[in-house]
């Protein structure tokens, strides 16, 4: 008998989304009960009909792109479906010069239980459900699970994931943060598991995990560190502090918390975001499915709370999950917020920020505006709900983490209203591109709370922040097709919104199509691009659709910003978003199997230039799995994803997936790293046995010398001064650099190659440049100057002036003789067999790696060690 009774109410309502099992366990089959938003806010069609004057778009980069691409979609944009065609050749590989170059994989059929990566890449499991995090945690045993063990093990269904390097670890250690969104006890636990035990194990598998990672070098995979100092499981019994204006209000008080300021646990944690000050944000999404409620009030109905038994039945064991019981009526009001966690402080209390509103947060992502305030964007992940923005009251202070951790406690809250440019009759529900060549328009952020005052008639500030959906309904925002992840680009300031799908759009009794949601029964979703004109605090914006998703080869009407539709990877149900180091957008999907019939995956999208809109599939996850938490570290040619609910449609004894171990036991949600297959020798012009071969390979494996895009190392090529700064910077562990307001060198400007490394070398006293304020970055560095760089790198240790020549061609009176003598004394340089050092010769790349290897592995020359 199943541990959880799954009536599968969604079996007839999952077109274009996940399995019925996932719907029941993840969001309590909300769509089967109809959308929660019954407000009569106008749709874009209504707005467009009243505003055919076509408001002029605001200025900004997005507007320029939209205008420049008008009319370039060609026959596919204006007419019917594109003919079936394979993914075609691309105008350019490695967009924007990213080091993560790959050839797109073909889509993988939805019944394939494999993790698929491009040729030349391999995947590794970083951590999986049940892995022990602490020394006193038992090894995972399918047949001997317990709540006490699970509390010490990695939780279930890893969703949002973030990895930050630990300062001072030379890039070899990191801390990872992971959400555990929900559980599926029917494939987790043996069928004869006691019902009470199933509840306790399931509860312990929820929550959050912080865990340390380590790796041998930059080209090796990470593994997790058992019992590391920062390891932490955050559980449903742990305290969370409520912050902001709603904290302490009567709406959030319960019999167990009469002060209304301390909540136990977090639920339904979906996506999240990394703050500029290094903390993690986690969105509480489908919390409603854990509570039984009277379901009679307007607020309860608006949030999907009902008087019916929950799937897991926690309310039968713990009163706090039964909001019908006196004293617990407000318990659901304490969930649905953005949670902030400090992963570097295991003793810290996580906080729930009421200022960002209460709804089904997919996540929240933060950017610092030009005036220093921080702006957080968040989507309400339900059909026909809204997009929100928070602007902090106070300003960001670089390096002041304590202050910055208060920024999300107070500020202004807005909800988005979009207006389209095209006539209403051109938005006919087919997804056909309007006659002006793009889906675009303007918008405004409607105020909910500003300067600490409610801007919604009849609502107090606390009511706006606790019943945010009801308050938003009053001001008339745009009903969206499930806003999931919302990510601002740190390269351009443009904001990207993944609207995953909405099969109810335009159907009987439901909101019709509009230009920002242009497709009836939107099975495959789309991505919105917002431009706020270089001011994230603005209340106005322009927008366009970056893509309307689907599979052109199957006849779907799609749009990819003018890029030829026969040259894209098919993509459906965009969910989580991320950016690489050069500004390319990456999209993970959730729901493609029931949309286009392929497993979900991770995709790269070019945002600018001739290839704007080009979609390339990087990986595919196993059967029934969802791709979550993408992390792109393209400098290291690596990416991470979390795979959640693999084998969701199986049951104990009849599993449909065996990922990631494929040992016949069953599926385990896992965090996966993808990286290039490690070659014995990555360079075509370096052969085993040649001089300095071992040093060159050492430098490559440790991320110090990366070689060239044509797979050459060019060992005899001189090292320029800028490259020498870069080598030493990487050897020091690539520390954070506070960039200056005024440039120290007149020939070194922001944006040029190795800029950060040169500034670091200057700030650390490694280089002073020339008296004319030049650095001369592309000038080869001579061997004597290199000795000076290395000497200063080590902290300029005290050493007597030489009285005898360290080398036959280095007299004690020569410039840098002391530094060269120190280099010889420490064993970093041995000179030539004829006793010379050749100080004015340029440093070649192979010799430089030899110097660096001896410094790090033989001579104990560490950064500023003295």
Per the CB < 8 A criterion, the answer to whether 492 and 22 are in contact is no
> What average pLDDT does the segment 450-457 reach?
98
Q: For the segment 128-147, what is each residue's pLDDT rounded down to a tens digit?
A: 999 999 999 999 999 999 99
Q: Smallest Cα–Cα separation from 669: which of 113, 130, 23? A: 130
β pairing state of 411-420 and 440-450 = antiparallel
- Checking if the pLDDT of 79 tops 80, the result is no
> What average pLDDT does the segment 559-568 reach?
97
Per the CB < 8 A criterion, the answer to whether 500 and 575 are in contact is yes
Mean pLDDT of the chain: 90
- Checking if the pLDDT of 61 tops 50, the result is no
18-22, 270-274, 595-599: range with lowest mean pLDDT: 18-22
Q: For the segment 320-336, what is each residue's pLDDT rounded down to a tens digit?
A: 999 999 999 999 999 99
Ranges assigned E (strand) in 235-360: 239-243, 262-264, 269-274, 280-284, 338-341, 351-353
The helix-helix angle for 783-793 and 845-857 (nearest 10°) equals 30
Q: For the segment 619-631, what is each residue's pLDDT rounded down to a tens digit?
A: 999 999 999 999 9
Q: For the segment 146-202, what is each residue's pLDDT rounded down to a tens digit?
A: 999 999 999 999 999 999 999 988 889 999 999 999 999 999 999 999 999 999 999
- Checking if the pLDDT of 98 tops 90, the result is yes
Cβ neighbourhood burial of 60 (10 Å; 0-12, 13-18, 19+): buried
Which position has the token pair 């340089």?
829
Q: Is 196 helix (H, G, I), strand (E, B) or coil?
A: helix
- Checking if the pLDDT of 78 tops 50, the result is no
Per the CB < 8 A criterion, the answer to whether 166 and 154 are in contact is no
Q: Hey, which residues does 419 pair with through a beta bridge?
A: 442
Percent of the chain with pLDDT over 70: 90
| Token digits of residue 360 | 């089904």
Q: How much is the pLDDT for 46?
A: 40
> What average pLDDT does the segment 294-308 reach?
97
Q: Smallest Cα–Cα separation from 660: which of 649, 651, 673? A: 673
One-character DSSP codes across 381-423 = -SEEE-EEEEEEEEE--TT-HHHHTTGGGSEEEEEEEEEESS-
> What average pLDDT does the segment 680-695 reach?
92
Note the pTM of the prediction, 2 decimals: 0.80
Q: Is 471 helix (H, G, I), strand (E, B) or coil?
A: helix
Q: Residue 772: count other Cβ atoms within 10 Å of its Cβ.
A: 9
- Checking if the pLDDT of 58 tops 70, the result is no
| Token digits of residue 455 | 């801007």
Ranges assigned E (strand) in 737-814: none
One-character DSSP codes across 547-566 = EE-B-GGGT---B-TTS-GG
pLDDT band at 741 (very low <50, low <70, confident <90, very high): confident
- Checking if the pLDDT of 117 tops 50, the result is yes
| Token digits of residue 69 | 């691409």
Q: For the segment 463-521, what is each residue's pLDDT rounded down to a tens digit?
A: 999 999 999 999 999 999 999 999 999 999 999 999 999 999 999 999 999 999 999 99
CA distances for 27 relative to 499, 589, 645, 692, angstroms? 17, 17, 14, 59
Residue 21 main-chain phi, psi, to 5 deg: -65, -45
Percent of the chain with pLDDT over 90: 81
């Amino acid at each position: 008998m199943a541990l959880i009774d799954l009536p599968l109410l969604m079996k007839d309502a999952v077109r274009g989304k996940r399995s019925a099992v996932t719907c029941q366990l993840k969001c309590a089959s909300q769509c089967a009960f109809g959308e929660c938003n019954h407000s009569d806010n106008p749709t874009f069609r209504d707005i467009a009909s009243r505003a055919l004057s076509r408001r002029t778009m605001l200025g900004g980069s997005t507007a320029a792109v939209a205008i420049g691409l008008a009319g370039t979609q060609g026959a596919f944009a204006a007419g019917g479906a594109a003919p079936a065609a394979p993914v075609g050749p691309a105008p350019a590989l490695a967009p924007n010069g990213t080091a993560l170059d790959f050839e797109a994989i073909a889509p993988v059929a939805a019944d394939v239980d494999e993790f698929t990566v491009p040729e030349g890449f391999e995947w590794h499991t970083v951590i999986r459900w049940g892995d022990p995090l602490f020394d006193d945690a038992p090894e995972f045993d399918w047949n001997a699970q317990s709540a006490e063990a699970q509390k010490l093990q990695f939780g279930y269904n890893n969703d949002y994931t973030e990895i930050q390097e630990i300062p001072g670890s030379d890039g070899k250690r990191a801390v990872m943060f992971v959400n555990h969104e929900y559980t599926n006890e029917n494939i987790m636990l043996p069928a004869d598991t006691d019902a009470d035990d199933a509840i306790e194990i399931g509860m312990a598998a929820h929550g959050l995990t912080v865990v340390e990672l380590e790796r041998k070098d930059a080209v090796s995979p990470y593994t997790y560190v058992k019992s590391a100092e920062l390891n932490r499981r955050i559980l449903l019994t742990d305290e969370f502090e409520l912050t902001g204006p709603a904290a302490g209000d009567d709406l959030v008080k319960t019999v167990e918390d009469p002060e209304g300021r301390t909540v136990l646990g977090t639920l339904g944690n979906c996506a999240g975001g990394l703050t500029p000050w290094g903390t993690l944000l986690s969105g509480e999404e489908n919390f409603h499915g854990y509570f039984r409620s009277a379901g009679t009030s307007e607020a309860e109905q608006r949030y999907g709370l009902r008087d019916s038994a929950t799937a897991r039945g926690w309310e039968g064991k713990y009163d706090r999950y039964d909001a019908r019981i006196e004293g617990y009526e407000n318990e659901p009001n304490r969930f649905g917020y953005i949670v902030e966690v400090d992963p570097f402080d295991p003793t810290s209390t996580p906080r729930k920020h009421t200022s960002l509103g209460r709804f089904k947060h997919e996540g929240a992502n933060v950017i610092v505006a030009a005036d220093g305030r921080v702006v957080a964007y968040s989507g309400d992940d339900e059909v026909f709900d809204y997009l929100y923005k928070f602007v902090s009251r106070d300003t960001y202070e670089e390096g002041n983490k304590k202050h910055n951790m208060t920024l999300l406690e107070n500020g202004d809250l807005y909800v988005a209203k979009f207006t389209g440019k095209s006539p209403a009759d051109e938005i006919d529900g087919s997804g056909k591109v309007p006659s002006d060549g793009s889906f675009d328009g303007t918008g405004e952020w409607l105020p909910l709370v500003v300067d600490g005052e409610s801007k919604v008639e009849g609502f107090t500030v606390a009511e706006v922040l606790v019943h945010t959906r009801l308050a938003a309904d009053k001001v008339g925002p745009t009903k969206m097709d499930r806003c999931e992840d919302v990510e601002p680009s740190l390269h351009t300031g443009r904001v990207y919104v993944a609207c995953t799908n909405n099969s109810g759009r335009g159907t009987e009794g439901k909101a019709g199509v509009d230009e920002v949601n242009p497709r009836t029964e939107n099975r495959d979703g789309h991505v919105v691009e917002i431009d706020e004109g270089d001011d994230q605090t603005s209340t106005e914006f322009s927008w366009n659709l970056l893509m309307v998703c689907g599979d052109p080869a199957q006849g779907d009407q799609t749009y990819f910003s003018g890029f030829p539709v026969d040259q894209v990877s098919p993509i459906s149900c965009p969910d989580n978003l991320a950016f690489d180091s050069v500004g390319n957008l990456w999209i993970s999907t959730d729901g493609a199997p029931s949309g286009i019939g392929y497993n979900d995956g991770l995709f790269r999208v070019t945002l600018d230039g001739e290839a704007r809109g080009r979609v390339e599939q990087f990986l595919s996850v196993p059967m029934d799995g969802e791709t979550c938490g993408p992390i792109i570290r393209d400098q290291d040619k690596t990416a991470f994803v979390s795979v959640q609910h693999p084998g969701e449609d199986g049951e104990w004894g009849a599993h449909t997936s065996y990922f990631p171990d494929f040992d016949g036991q069953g599926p385990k949600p896992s965090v996966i790293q993808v990286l290039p297959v490690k070659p014995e020798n990555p360079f075509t012009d370096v052969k085993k046995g040649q001089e300095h071969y071992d040093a060159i390979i050492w430098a490559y494996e440790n991320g110090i010398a990366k070689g060239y895009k044509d797979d050459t190392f060019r060992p005899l090529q001189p090292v320029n001064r800028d490259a020498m700064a870069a080598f030493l910077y990487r050897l020091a562990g690539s520390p954070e650099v506070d960039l200056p307001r005024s440039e120290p060198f007149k020939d070194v400007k922001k944006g040029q190659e190795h800029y950060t490394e040169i500034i670091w070398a200057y700030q650390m006293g490694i280089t002073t440049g020339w008296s004319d304020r030049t650095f001369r970055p592309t000038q080869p560095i001579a061997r004597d100057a290199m000795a000076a760089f290395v000497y200063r790198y080590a902290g300029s240790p005290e050493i007597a002036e030489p009285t005898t020549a360290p080398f036959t061609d280095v007299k004690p009176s020569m410039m840098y003789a002391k530094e060269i003598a120190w280099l010889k004394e420490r064993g970093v340089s041995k000179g030539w067999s004829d006793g010379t050092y050749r100080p004015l010769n340029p440093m070649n790349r192979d010799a430089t790696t030899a110097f660096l290897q001896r410094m790090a592995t033989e001579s104990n020359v560490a950064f500023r060690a003295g």
